[in-house]
Amino acid sequence: MPAIDFRQVRSLISITEVLDLLGFEAVHSGTNQLRGHCPLRGAAGGNRVFSVHLGKQAFHCFKCGASGNHLDLWAQYLKKPLYEAALELCERAGREVPWLQTGQRRGTRK
């Protein structure tokens, strides 16, 4: 199975694009932050428990405890492994999948 460059996926697709795909509507917005209902739990329980930091491309739900980057959010929403979620996100966002070259691994030194 070819490897996906997850870092590149996160840089190609913004958290605002992921939120748009999820149909997220902010109840409150600040300079660099959005708050609203948690898209992972639905609209139940608290209207500002889900927080998104646009600059850090990160989210956190204060009710269910889910947190991470926007690729994590997409994977958790779909209830799929990160690999499958990244493929689907690239397809839905109309972006090419950034594949790692054979033998190339992120985080290893040569």
Domain CATH for 47 = 3.90.580.10
Q: What is the mean pLDDT of the chain?
A: 90
* 9: alpha, beta or left? (left if phi > 0; alpha if psi -120 to 50): alpha
Q: How many helices (H) and strands (E) does the chain have?
A: 4, 5
Q: Is residue 101 part of a domain?
A: no
Q: Is residue 109 part of a domain?
A: no
Q: Is the pLDDT of residue 110 over 50?
A: no
47: which 2 tokens?
């209207």
Total-model pTM: 0.86
User: For the chain, what is the domain count?
Assistant: 1
Closest CA to 87 of 71, 67, 106: 71
> What are 20-53's pLDDT values in tens digits?
999 999 999 988 999 999 999 876 556 789 999 9
Q: Which domain holds residue 56?
A: 6-93
Q: Is residue 98 part of a domain?
A: no
- Report the amino acid identity of residue 48: R
> What are 2-24's pLDDT values in tens digits?
999 999 999 999 999 999 999 99
Q: Is residue 100 part of a domain?
A: no
Beta carbons within 10 angstroms of residue 53's beta carbon: 14
* pLDDT at residue number 54: 97
* pLDDT at residue number 45: 57
